[in-house]
Structure 1
Amino acid sequence: MPPFEKSMEMIPFKQRKCLASRKDEGFSIRSKFPNKLPVIVERYIREKHLPLMDKSKFLVPFEFTIGQFISLLRSKIDLDSSQALYLLVSENHMTCLTASMGEVYSQYSDQDGFLYMTYASQDMFG
């Protein structure tokens, strides 16, 4: 991957696109896929141990649980069972693993129509 593309991945999605563009994209996704939720997942800015994912946008079914989504992310990041992965919603909220993505989306979705999540290892707490 060229250095420019790698550096663009480190810029948060909200800073790469203006609000109007994000709203249009979120509305378009929701109208094309009414049974799915648009989710943006990015690595915590100070994370040093976990790799970047090859994509940050996900379409997730309403009934998916947070636990199922974390399992999906673990496979995308290719973590082994001994590595910790924490998922924060809207940058500073942790949710129950049994909560559905629909419940989390209705509570924490952004005004642009996306649900923003951040992943990190345990080092973010200390």
Structure 2
Amino acid sequence: MQPGDSSSRPFKQRKSLGTLLGIRGAAEQGRGDGVFSPLQVVVERYQKEKTLPPLNRTKFLVSQDLPLSQFAVTLRTRLCLTSSQTFYLLVNNKGLPNMAVTMQELYRDNKDEDGFLYLTYASQEMFGSSSSGKPAAA
């Protein structure tokens, strides 16, 4: 990806608020009363992340009753992570959420003014080795 590539910019910078609200409104139309409508979640890689790959998509429609821990498993699968690789989810690029909460609770407490929930993922070296599986230099 080139530095000027539009996909290297965060989702909110690639779309205007009007566009985001239009996307949100279009997604909500035709879903009946909206009681069981999926939540719109944007998941992006931390800007300084070097070891985890970027996701091939950033916007997800997630069931309201899905636990965050299960959504994290879905993300691990999409990232093709091994069991020794660790990643963390941040809410609004600042806080670590409780993995036991449902997506509805997380959305209710942390949604943005544009109606999306923004999550960021990042890695951490664990067990004395880097995320690439190679031993860390001493």
TM-score (norm 1): 0.89
Q: CA RMSD in A?
A: 1.6
Matched AA of 1:112: D
Q: What is the distance in 2 between the residues matched to 1:45 and 1:107?
A: 24
Partner of 2:110: 108
Residue 5 of structure 2: SS of its match in structure 1? Answer: helix
Q: In the alignment, is residue 24 of structure 1 matched against residue 12 of structure 2?
A: no
Bigger Cα displacement from structure 2, 81-90 vs 19-28: 19-28
Q: What is the aligned-residue identity percentage?
A: 39
- 1:41-62, CA deviations, whole angstroms, 9 ceiling, x for partnerless residues? 0000000000011000100000
Q: What is the distance in 1 between the residues matched to 2:123 and 2:112?
A: 24
Partner of 1:62: 64
Q: What is the distance in 2 between the residues matched to 1:31 and 1:90?
A: 26
Residues 32/83 of structure 1: CA separation in 2 closer, same or farther (3 Å cut) = farther
Q: Comparing both chains, which one has the higher relative contact order based on Cα–Cα distances under 8 Å and sequence gaps of 6 or more?
A: 1
8 A contact 1:27–1:113 mirrored in 2: no
Q: What is the distance in 2 between the residues matched to 1:80 and 1:110?
A: 32
Gapped regions of structure 1 (runs ≥ 5): none
Question: Aligned pairs, how many?
Answer: 120
Residues 48/64 of structure 1: CA separation in 2 closer, same or farther (3 Å cut) = same
Partner of 2:135: none
Matched AA of 2:88: Y
Larger-gyration structure (1/2): 2
1:64-83 to 2 correspondence within 5 Å?
64-83=66-85
Gapped regions of structure 2 (runs ≥ 5): 126-138
Which of residues 21, 38, 41 is equivalent to 1:39? 41
Matched AA of 2:96: M
Q: What is the distance in 2 between the residues matched to 1:13 and 1:70?
A: 20
8 A contact 1:23–1:111 mirrored in 2: no
Q: Aligned-pair distance for 1:30?
A: 2.8
